[in-house]
């Protein structure tokens, strides 16, 4: 297994470096310290995007929820997200079909489409501002994945009933002014400000009775009817279920051979001149094994990220930021020559991925009342939404067959 960040020593500053453009100068929801021992139906550990989605959904279902975070909620890995809310998974439908067969792969892709639709409906219904915008995606031919590979992927997607249109070089150039051999353009994705999204969800959960407290969890005691959680205070929290939404800082008893923690880098430009961004502000990502991804922001910036590598140490990751930023600028100019490539923000972050591009969501092996969600790859917020719904059902004693595709102890693909 690859190294993981230490559960107790890792702080938010270790999860990302530099400065991202998120938050809009707003203040996070208030999280007072734990002042007494409490009982709750569900304890959510971690107040980032996964924890906030889970807490909001459970509170909306009338569940008594407590969220505990040892730092300011939403300012860990969530702050490093580029918030490209795609339904397309890191592993293409073709790759996932090779792993698990077409029927299972297509079903999981359709659940991913439904997750983005569900998130869109949730944000619209709650009505808070998080710069949420429906977006299409452009999946560009790159590297070893040329027009024939995209054609094969497009045919599989058509067979699965997924939306999208295959563009050749001429169509791509005329419609989007992007000079690549081919692309698949697909509706149904979105983008947002991830910090404002997380905070808005937490505030809504609080209005529905959820408690948000400042405490560090130091130990978990799983018993037949409940879980007792020790904290760094004299007080404990007893819950019927615990949801671990701690991202890349999972307790030692949560392990998967499928998962590894790597690093990613991103930059955001200065606002571009009006009329100089690509039409529609599509979310762009490349079909190659080592790929870049790009999006626009509501205030007219271009964000481009990539350069992922297996760096785990936070200092080593952040020391690479000048070099990685320079490479991202070069890649941006090649992708979109009319861009003003002056950097306004540059940042890095821990990034979790799995062998099959699917998340790890479900009960911790041999600890059925402790549930976890992590390993999202490039689909962080999409899979976070999916996790919030799956974990709520598991807490209620409900299970669907497709949940097993995300089991924490599932075997590596091909085994």
| CATH number, position 241 | 3.50.50.60
Q: Are 373 and 317 contained in the same domain?
A: no
Check whether 67 has a pLDDT greater than 50: yes
Q: Are 247 and 285 contained in the same domain?
A: no
Query: Looking at the domain assignment, is residue 50 inside a domain?
Result: yes
In this prediction, residues 162-180 reach a mean pLDDT of 96
What Rg do the C-alpha atoms of the chain give, in angstroms? 21
Query: Looking at the domain assignment, is residue 114 inside a domain?
Result: no
The whole-number pLDDT of residue 110 equals: 98
Instruction: Look at the block and give the residue holding tokens 């005329």.
Output: 174
Question: How many distinct structural domains can be found in the chain?
Answer: 3
How many CA atoms lie less than 13 Å away from 159 in the CB half-sphere? 14
Q: Are 182 and 328 contained in the same domain?
A: no
Reading the block at residue 138, the tokens are: 């452009």
Q: Are 320 and 244 contained in the same domain?
A: no
Q: Are 289 and 311 contained in the same domain?
A: yes
In this prediction, residues 40-45 reach a mean pLDDT of 98
Q: Are 264 and 347 contained in the same domain?
A: yes
- Name the band, by pLDDT with cuts 50, 70 and 90, for residue 5: very low
Query: Looking at the domain assignment, is residue 413 inside a domain?
Result: no
- Which pLDDT tens digit goes with each residue over 114-130? 999 999 999 999 999 99
- Residues 350 and 333: their CA atoms lie apart, in Å, by 26
Boundary (domain end) residue, out of 325, 353, 381: 353
The whole-number pLDDT of residue 1 equals: 38
Q: What's the whole-number average pLDDT of the chain? A: 92
Task: Quote the crossing angle between the two packed helices 380-395 and 49-60, to the nearest 10°.
Answer: 40
Q: Are 372 and 307 contained in the same domain?
A: no
Reading the block at residue 362, the tokens are: 């479900």
In this prediction, residues 174-185 reach a mean pLDDT of 96
Q: Are 100 and 166 contained in the same domain?
A: yes
The whole-number pLDDT of residue 415 equals: 63
Residue 177, domain extent: 93-109+119-126+133-188
Phi, psi for residue 392 in degrees, rounded to 5: -65, -40
Distances (CA, A) of 315 to 10, 29, 246, 322: 12, 29, 21, 13
Query: Looking at the domain assignment, is residue 6 inside a domain?
Result: no
Q: Are 174 and 207 contained in the same domain?
A: no
| DSSP-derived 3-state class of residue 47 | coil
Query: Looking at the domain assignment, is residue 17 inside a domain?
Result: no
The whole-number pLDDT of residue 257 equals: 85
Phi, psi for residue 233 in degrees, rounded to 5: -115, 180
Query: Looking at the domain assignment, is residue 246 inside a domain?
Result: yes
Query: Looking at the domain assignment, is residue 24 inside a domain?
Result: no
pTM score:
0.94
Q: Are 162 and 294 contained in the same domain?
A: no
| DSSP-derived 3-state class of residue 56 | helix
Per-range mean pLDDT, top range of 72-76, 89-93, 287-291, 307-311: 89-93
- Name the band, by pLDDT with cuts 50, 70 and 90, for residue 2: very low
- Residues 332 and 208: their CA atoms lie apart, in Å, by 44
Q: Are 342 and 387 contained in the same domain?
A: no
Check whether 10 has a pLDDT greater than 80: no
Q: Are 56 and 101 contained in the same domain?
A: no
Check whether 167 has a pLDDT greater than 70: yes
- Residues 250 and 258: their CA atoms lie apart, in Å, by 14
What percent of the chain has a predicted confidence (pLDDT) above 90? 78
The whole-number pLDDT of residue 385 equals: 98
- Residues 159 and 151: their CA atoms lie apart, in Å, by 12
Give the residue with greater pLDDT, 307 vs 56.
56
Query: Looking at the domain assignment, is residue 21 inside a domain?
Result: no
Boundary (domain end) residue, out of 329, 353, 377: 353
- Residues 332 and 326: their CA atoms lie apart, in Å, by 10
Least trusted range by pLDDT, from 13-27, 152-166, 257-271, 350-364: 13-27
Boundary (domain end) residue, out of 167, 188, 209: 188
Check whether 3 has a pLDDT greater than 50: no
């Amino acid at each position: 297994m690859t190294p993981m960040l230490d559960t107790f020593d890792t702080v938010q500053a270790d999860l990302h470096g530099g400065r991202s453009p998120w938050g809009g100068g707003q203040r996070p929801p208030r999280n007072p310290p734990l002042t007494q021992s409490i009982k709750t139906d569900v304890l959510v550990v971690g107040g980032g995007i996964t924890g906030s989605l889970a807490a909001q959904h459970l509170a909306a279902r009338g569940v008594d929820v407590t969220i505990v975070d040892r730092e300011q909620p939403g300012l860990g890995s969530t702050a490093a997200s580029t918030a490209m809310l795609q339904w397309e998974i890191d592993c293409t439908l073709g790759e996932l079909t090779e792993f698990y067969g077409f029927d299972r792969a297509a079903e999981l892709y359709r659940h991913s489409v439904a997750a983005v639709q569900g998130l869109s409906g949730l944000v619209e219904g709650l009505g808070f501002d998080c710069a949420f915008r429906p977006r299409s995606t452009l999946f560009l031919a790159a590297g070893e994945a040329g027009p024939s590979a995209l054609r094969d992927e497009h045919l599989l997607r058509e067979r699965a009933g997924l939306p999208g249109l295959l563009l050749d070089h001429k169509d791509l150039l005329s419609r989007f002014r992007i000079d690549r051999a081919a692309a698949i353009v697909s509706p149904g994705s979105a983008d947002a400000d991830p910090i404002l999204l997380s905070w808005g969800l937490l505030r809504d959960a609080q209005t529905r009775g959820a408690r948000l407290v400042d405490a560090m969890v130091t130990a978990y005691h799983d018993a037949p009817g409940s879980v007792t959680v020790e904290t760094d205070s004299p007080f404990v929290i007893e819950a019927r279920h615990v949801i671990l939404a701690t991202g890349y800082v999972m307790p030692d008893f949560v392990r998967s051979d499928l998962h590894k923690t790597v690093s990613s880098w991103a930059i955001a430009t200065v606002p571009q001149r009006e009329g100089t961004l690509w039409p529609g502000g599509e979310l762009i990502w490349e079909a190659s094994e080592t790929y870049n991804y790009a999006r626009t922001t509501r205030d007219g910036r271009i964000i481009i990220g990539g350069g992922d590598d297996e760096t785990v140490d936070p200092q080593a990751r952040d020391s690479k930021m000048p070099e990685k930023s320079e490479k991202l600028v070069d890649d941006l100019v090649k992708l979109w020559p009319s861009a003003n490539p002056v950097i306004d923000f540059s940042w890095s972050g821990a990034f979790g991925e799995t062998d099959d591009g699917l998340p790890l969501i479900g009960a911790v092996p041999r600890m059925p009342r402790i549930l976890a969600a992590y390993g999202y790859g490039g689909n962080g917020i999409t899979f976070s939404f999916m996790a919030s719904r799956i974990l709520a059902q598991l807490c209620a004693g409900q299970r669907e067959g497709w949940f097993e595709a995300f089991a924490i102890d599932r075997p590596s693909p091909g085994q």
